[in-house]
Amino acid sequence: MTRSPIHCSHALPGRVRLPEHPSEAGGGRESAFSLVEVAMALGLVTFVVLSVLGLLSIGINSNRISMEETRGAFILTLLEADLRNSFPNNTATSTIYGLPTPYALDKDDKRILNPAIQAGTFQSIGLDASERPASLTGTGANRPQYQASIVYIRVPAASHLEAIQARLIVNWPGKKVADPRVLTTPSSVSGYVESYVTFPAP
């Protein structure tokens, strides 16, 4: 005699019967994000992206300023070397930038104090993208990117064996001015570097 298997539809005590198909749990409907949750997520993403873009802009600007100051300091070094290494000549100007040197030559080719300079003597020259002399009157694309200047602060009498003191300024962009104080005014230029130098007596 063969016995048929017994089927029981009742759950055993202590056990929970799980639905075998999504339709048994919720009529075929799946859970999803609400409109409020999506809006909050988009707002958060937008805030993060805008914050990153703001930091990126600050970083780019800081990098630009650093590059300009580094280049300005390099030009300042070139300017001082040009003034120191230009041997006295009849024009009493530096070899590269054509600025007045502290020394000149007399009729016997002897080095003397440059008679064309005195305390307060100020002269500038514009520099192009290649750091070559350019006119300060240029505008637009021809406007010099940098400007090299010298201001003599202390010039002793020719008979005194005292040092000559000068102030060197490199600013950007270049602009033609009559007062050197404008070149170190933040509202007038994008940036500048300067140094004070001393030349020995002739």
pLDDT of residue 140: 80
C-alpha closest to that of 145 among 189, 86, 113: 189
Neighbouring CB atoms inside 10 A of 163's CB total 14
Strand 146-154 versus strand 164-172 pairing type? antiparallel
Q: pLDDT tens digit string along 37-81?
A: 888 989 999 988 888 888 888 888 888 899 999 999 999 999 999
Beta bridge partners of 148: 125, 170
Give yes or no for residue 29 having a pLDDT over 80. Answer: no
Poorest-pLDDT segment among 13-27, 88-102, 161-175: 13-27
Task: Give 160: exposed, middle or buried? Use CB within 10 Å, 0-12, 13-18, 19+.
Answer: exposed
Task: Specify the higher pLDDT residue, 34 or 22.
Answer: 34
Q: pLDDT tens digit string along 112-163?
A: 999 999 999 999 999 998 889 999 988 887 889 999 999 999 999 877 788 9
Q: What is the pTM of this model?
A: 0.72
C-alpha closest to that of 75 among 163, 173, 154: 173
pLDDT of residue 72: 95
Report the pLDDT averaged over residues 165-191: 95
Report the pLDDT averaged over residues 172-184: 94
Using CA atoms, how far apart are residues 88 and 109, in angstroms rounded to an integer? 9
